[in-house]
Structure 1
């Protein structure tokens, strides 16, 4: 959920002073958290206090009452709803505004299936934004977060959103930047926020994409940030800076939520690959970590770990051997297992000469290439003595027999 808050803070000064460039100070001097962050934290508390089984409306009412004058202010319809809620009338107001999508971020982290994510996203939205488009915007955002969190590729996320919700995601940020104007509905902002992530190279670049479009900048960046966090992870320095903008009362809830939901994912799957074995799933890496995958000599990274390497870790189409961004390709499709050994030996030599890097070897050759672990693992026998090469657990078990 911290990705939502960072996007909101960075975009806060541009909401009413749009810019059409990606070149701007990432944490502006006058930036502050806005209603987007406040209501995102309200969603987090709603989830912490009963996993979304309670009515979400009272949580948004309490937070809006506790923080009545944020930078940028609440929307007029929401303000009227808060006033009615103070009298006990919590009836929704049929909004299709992007407020439902901006506050939904925590939902994508708190559940383990698509159905439960979508149900909770609807429950978080419908207390105010019960218009079909308002619910759709929240659900589409939460779905993106959930899929990114569990390791889906960008194309898988794009396809799922288009097929389930009918959003047009065929454009690019560069293609719409000059013509895109103000829009406060879900249908005018959620697709754009998703594309800002899809076009992004990393977390920060995704936020810059969103803000460079103009329009409702803080909310665009809030939605984009919520998805980009789940896909790319957030550099530790940005996390610390973002948390530094929040008062203790908000920060405490964020920390509690991250400890229960977010930090577990980040530590185990993104920042703590320091165990004896390669993790079952790698969704992001530190700057000094490298994803080692099975390739083909033509460098056609179309499936399996190779597709993940191309989508996330810099593997280059047409390059089938060696270091590429934060990935290292070992060809496995050119013949028998004996044809793989020279490339494995070359890799081990490369790893030895680069002790500053940590290499996570996936089960190369055991997928599309059709080899077994017992056939491939012995090729890595020398890697057991190389401290910065991490092998899959079943490779190690074979080698230790």
Structure 2
């Protein structure tokens, strides 16, 4: 297409344009989207969808939330990027706010993504003077090289070996395996409070508390990856708060920016002092415009009672989907509005497709698991609309299976 030609319109045309110019690491996305408002999005042909993917748990307040739009506009009109050579007030205020939500004294490093937040934690671990690290099989911490070394998914790791670091992976939820692996030579143990990308896996009660006790006994840093679970996604500011567990390092991203790219690494106690001048950095660290958006997200969640809505909507979804009307559903895992609908068989891709045909966007995160991560502001009415359509999609796939048998 030359500079003077109008771009092709429509879903097929926009998809072809993607295929012509984009690297193929994502494959071809299933649907081109051009507009969003709240929990709704529209494709290039004007079809409307109820979005229960939420940018993979990113759009905490939905699409085009007025508070985020206003914060972005006002900050961009005032002070944009200044780099880490200068101080910007929104950056300082966001760090203060995150530490306040954690209820602890500490320090914050801002980055541009969850993977970068984990990379900072990886470096903090190295600065302890120890090199061994422990992570959980099935865990996902990002795709940059350090984060990938901690990710416990061999299919993602194998093309890029050898990976940095001396990392041991242990079964998730197994306290005995933690006790055997974490020793006085272990720099850090990194865990997700629940494993989002692995099919929304929830550990047994007391697992995080045991991890805290084990790491405290060995002088190991406990790193909790709250990139997917943090910022209210489970009905708490941080998922670990439900068990009263305080980590040495917490990583955040996804919902923090409400759709804007930002990561944060929070460190407490001795870990907070390990990054010193020259040990780490990023040109875009603490960008004022993105920090202003993140502050708007936090303000809105707190001011409008969003955490209560997360707990209420999550309970409604779980109760309805685990009921007798849905025989294809084996169980529903997760917390708040991060839920994994576990199916009786490897039907997730077909359920995802049937739901989309009914105007619902969901994520087949595993062969037998459909992940739900709608905006935290989803209304009671939207939950009911979703349940009606998703129930019909489940029934269709169940009937297809019966006919095929």
Which structure features the higher share of strand residues? 2
TM-score (norm 2): 0.30
Which structure features the higher share of helix residues? 1
Larger radius of gyration between Structure 1 and Structure 2 = 1
TM-score (norm 1): 0.30
